[in-house]
Amino acid sequence: MANHASALKRARQNEKRRLRNKAYRTRVRSVIKSVRQAIEAGDSEAAQSALAQAVPVIDQAAGKGVLHKKNASRKISRLARQVHSLSA
């Protein structure tokens, strides 16, 4: 590691951001898991409510730069398609 003050500051900032991003990423994975569990259980209402909770969390992660916007959109689209096929 460099001894420049700017390099040390950059390392501190990177660590803070890494931990913050890790928290967002974990939360995204958790809400996706809850939607998938409801889909596997075949519970249409639970899947729809879980999806309604998951969409803003995924969008927020994309807005913060934790996920790419198209990656978030793809995740939402695939979950929504599975939930809607369950209720059809």
User: Could you tell me the pLDDT band of residue 1, with boundaries at 50, 70 and 90?
Assistant: low
Instruction: Give residue 14's identity as a one-letter amino acid code.
Output: N
Q: Average pLDDT in the 34-46 region?
A: 95
User: Could you tell me the pLDDT band of residue 54, with boundaries at 50, 70 and 90?
Assistant: very high
Q: Please give the DSSP secondary-structure letter assigned to residue 73.
A: H
Give the integer Cα–Cα distance in Å for 3 and 18. 21
Coil, strand or helix: which one is 40?
A: helix
Total domains in the chain come to 1
Tell me the residue range of the domain where 72 lies: 5-87
Q: Please give the DSSP secondary-structure letter assigned to residue 79.
A: H
CATH number of the domain enclosing 37: 1.20.58.110
Q: Mutual orientation of helices 5-41 and 44-64 as an angle, nearest 10°?
A: 170
User: Could you tell me the pLDDT band of residue 34, with boundaries at 50, 70 and 90?
Assistant: very high
